[in-house]
Structure 1
Amino acid sequence: MTDSKQAPEIIAIPRWFKIAAILALVWNLLGVAAFIDHMMMTSEKIAQLPVAEQALYAAVPLWATFAFGVAVFTGALGSVALLMKKRICYKLFVFSFIGVVVQMFHSFFISNSYEVYGPGGTIMPIMLIAITLLLVRFAAKGNSNNWFS
């Protein structure tokens, strides 16, 4: 009798994988730095912002700040897991994506960030969503190709 379960086919990891994983880590560490900078804003620094930005900063609810933290820290951990070729990177990137979506929901639909920053202020949020979704898909591809342990 033959065993009906066959070992999954392992597809060789492409040469560009490590470069992409390092870029993902750098990107997410920049997000961590932005979050830390956001959290360390003193009242003196806030007072140096234009009045409209001061009001925008003061109006950010705790849940949006929490989503920001979830997005960047799970993204950074996902990137480390990606470099280590661990399957958990997918789940971490999904959490990061959810955090980004929640944060951008606040930015686009609740706050008046568009009025403050104008059309140019939509470029970075759209990039955040696109890159985070790309990382989710990248990790999913790695899982489906059995690149990870």
Structure 2
Amino acid sequence: MNGNVKAPWHLWAVGVITLLWNGFGASQWYMQVMKVRSYYADMTLEQVQFIQAQPVWVEIVFGVGVWTGVLGALMLLLRRKLAFNAFVASLIAVLANTVYMQVLTNGRELFGVGTLYAAIAVIVVAAASAAYAHFARSRGIIR
């Protein structure tokens, strides 16, 4: 497919949805890193202490996960094949963050089983984003 071919509707749908999804994650990361008071408003003291005591690498992995997701969505909308690489980086970072929260710490105990369901949803979206970008790249939709 050459660059003059109109992008299919599903490219725009997936691109916009993933941009909104990852943009929400980026806002969560920003509020956590900047210690925005409203971000912590509904948390218990133990939950706030847990988040603020996380190792720096966890904060970095969280940031890499959401910002490479945003980058992947933007690349998808710009029809760039590197969207796949960005989404794969996002997926790897999301998996690392999930292992920390769900396996290596008592995060699930502190935040509840809902965090596990949320983590599964994030992993599914990240994997689906990478899969779609791979599909789009293999079909020449993105170049």
Q: Which amino acid aligns with 1:27?
A: W
Runs of 4+ in 1 over 4 A off after TM superposition: 42-48
Aligned length: 141
Q: Which residue of 1 aligns with 2:73?
A: 79
Structure 2, gaps ≥5 residues long: none
Larger Rg: 1
1:59 corresponds to which letter in structure 2? Answer: A
The equivalent position to 1:92 in structure 2, one of 86, 99, 108, is 86
Other-structure match for 1:113: 107
TM-score (norm 2): 0.88
Q: Residue in 1 aligned with 2:134? A: 140
Gaps of 5+ in 1: 1-6
Please give the per-residue CA displacement for 1:59-97, whole angstroms capped at 9, x wherever unaligned.
Answer: 311111110011111110110000011001000111111
The answer as to whether partners of 2:11 and 2:76 remain within 8 angstroms in 1 is no
The two structures have a TM-score, normalised by structure 1, of 0.84
1:56–1:112 CA contact under 8 A, matched in 2: no
Q: Superposition RMSD on alpha carbons, in Å? A: 2.5
Distance 2:38 2:138 in 1: 50
Q: Tell me the alpha carbon deviations over residues 81-140 of structure 1, each in whole angstroms, 9 at most, x when there is no partner.
A: 000110010001111111101111100111211111222221111111110000010000
Question: Offset of 1:48 from its aligned partner?
Answer: 7.5
